[in-house]
Amino acid sequence: MENDKKLHQARLNNNCPTCFGTDGLEFTFTQGKRENLLFEKPSSNIEGSLYCHNCKNTIYPVNWTSDIERVYDYNKKIAETKRQYLKIKPLTYILLLLAIVIIAAAIYLLISG
C-alpha cells in the first residue's frame, strides 16, 4: 500500500503565472509513504506542488517566478519540521509479545521436561 501524507499547506499572495490572480495560489507539501500491517514507512523526500484555485491549474516549477521560489523554500523548511518517521503499529508489539511468550513456554517445557 502506498499513499501520500500532507505535511503542510500554505496560501501565497504572489501573482499566479497563468491567470495573474493574487489570491489563488497554494503550496501543498507531501511525503510519500509505504504502509503495511506492521509499520508505516515514510519516504525520505518531501514533494511540493503549487496549485492555483483561481484558474484550477497546477503551476509547474518551470513557470515559477523567483518570488514564488523564495516562498517555496521558506515553506519547504516548515514542511521539513513536520517530516514523518517510521511508525511501528500495535500489531508488531502484539506479535513480539506473543513470540516472547511462546519462546518462554518452549524454554520452560525444555527445562522442566
In the complex, the residues that contact Zn ion under the rule CB under 5 A are 16, 18-19, 24, 52, 54-55
Percentages helix, strand, coil for the chain (3-state, rounded to 5) are: 35, 35, 25
Closest distance of CB 62 from Zn ion, Å = 15
φ/ψ of 96, rounded to 5, equals: -60, -45
19-48 residues labelled b (16+ CB within 10 A) or e (exposed)? eeeeebbebbbbbbbeeeeeebbbeeebeb
Which triple of cell numbers denotes residue 90? 500495535
Closest distance of CB 14 from Zn ion, Å = 11
**CB closer to Zn ion out of 54 and 84:** 54
Closest distance of CB 59 from Zn ion, Å = 7
**CB closer to Zn ion out of 7 and 68:** 68
**CB closer to Zn ion out of 12 and 52:** 52
